[in-house]
Amino acid sequence: MTKKNVLEKLRKAKLGHKRWISYAKAMHMGIEVDDKAIPMLETNCEFGKWYYNDGQVFSDLDSYQAIEGPHSLLHHTYMELYTVKNEPVKSGFLKSKSKMENEKKTKLDTLMDQLMHISRILLENLKEFESDIKNMNEFEFNKLI
């Protein structure tokens, strides 16, 4: 693993993240998304596979550790958004279908707001980690790997 490889992995992670956010936005707006937009566990995305395996060599860095929480929360929030979006709306015991649809829309809007907030935090944390890697001299970097 080289410094260049790590920086490339982080740039790809940011691009992949932005792609996933665009899927979530499209789905939220009612646009049909294909199977590659289905949410997955944080350990199964391309970045997660690196982060939880080869990336562990950086686990002593605060900027590395700061990524895990928002990354995991982002995946779980997107999974919840996807699940709620795909749940059929039925009238309840004491609620009309229209009322249930309004409640579903409110929940989806709230989840989307949460997702966007988490996304901003995650991107900032990725940027900070990238900066830490960039600012390391070769000796510091090689000592970690």
Domain of 66, CATH number, reads 1.20.120
Q: Is 32 left (phi over 0), alpha (psi -120 to 50) or beta?
A: beta
CB neighbour class for 144 (10 Å; exposed up to 12, middle 13-18, buried from 19) = middle
Query: Tokens standing for 132?
Result: 């830490």
pLDDT digits 0-9 by tens, 50-107: 999 999 999 999 999 999 999 999 999 999 999 999 888 776 666 787 888 899 999 9
Asked if residues 145 and 1 have their Cβ atoms less than 8 Å apart, the reply is: yes
Query: Tokens standing for 103?
Result: 């409640």
Q: How many domains does the chain have?
A: 1
Predicted confidence at residue 96, as pLDDT, reads 81
Global pTM reads 0.88
pLDDT digits 0-9 by tens, 18-34: 988 999 999 899 888 87
Domain range spanning residue 40?
3-144
